[in-house]
């Protein structure tokens, strides 16, 4: 009787282990790796936040080590403001390859 109970317990443990191993592992999308000095305030795949390291005056800027690309139609707040190195910005958009496509840039004082 004892052997029967032990074998039944072993069979249940094996079935449980097999069912756990058979569950597929889901991949979780991660934002691009952080680069540059220091840590950003928050990792968010739809925002880049930090100080402007450089700006070419047209469509390319670097925010806290992250390459950001503006496009015609990117909204800059406050309206009429000019982006300059050293400013703190919050950029809303999405990752495309190795750069962040900006839909909106908010300059904070």
Measured between alpha carbons, how far is 45 from 94 in angstroms, rounded to an integer?
Answer: 7
Query: Tens digits of per-residue pLDDT, 63-109?
Result: 999 999 999 999 999 998 999 999 999 999 999 999 999 999 999 97
Higher pLDDT, 33 or 87: 87
pLDDT of residue 109: 74
Q: Which domains does the chain show, CATH number per domain?
A: 47-108 (2.40.50.320)
> Which sign does the torsion angle of CA 31, 34, 27, 100 carry?
positive
Q: Across residues 18-28, what is the average pLDDT? A: 45
Q: Across residues 26-50, what is the average pLDDT? A: 57
* Model confidence, pTM: 0.61
The b-or-e profile of 35-63 (16+ CB within 10 A means b, else e) is eeeeebeeeeeebbbbbbbebeeeeebbb
- Asked if 52 and 36 count as a contact pair (C-beta separation under 8 A), the reply is no
């Amino acid at each position: 009787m004892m052997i029967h109970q032990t074998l039944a317990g072993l069979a249940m443990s094996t079935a449980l282990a097999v069912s756990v191993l058979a569950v597929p592992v889901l991949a979780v999308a991660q934002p691009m790796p952080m680069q540059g000095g220091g840590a950003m305030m928050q990792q968010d795949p739809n925002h880049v936040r930090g100080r402007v390291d450089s700006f070419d005056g047209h469509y390319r800027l670097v925010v806290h080590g992250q390459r950001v690309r503006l496009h015609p139609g990117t909204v800059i707040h406050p309206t009429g403001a000019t982006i300059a190195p050293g400013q703190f910005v919050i950029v809303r958009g999405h990752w495309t390859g190795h750069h962040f496509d900006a839909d909106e840039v908010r300059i904070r004082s």
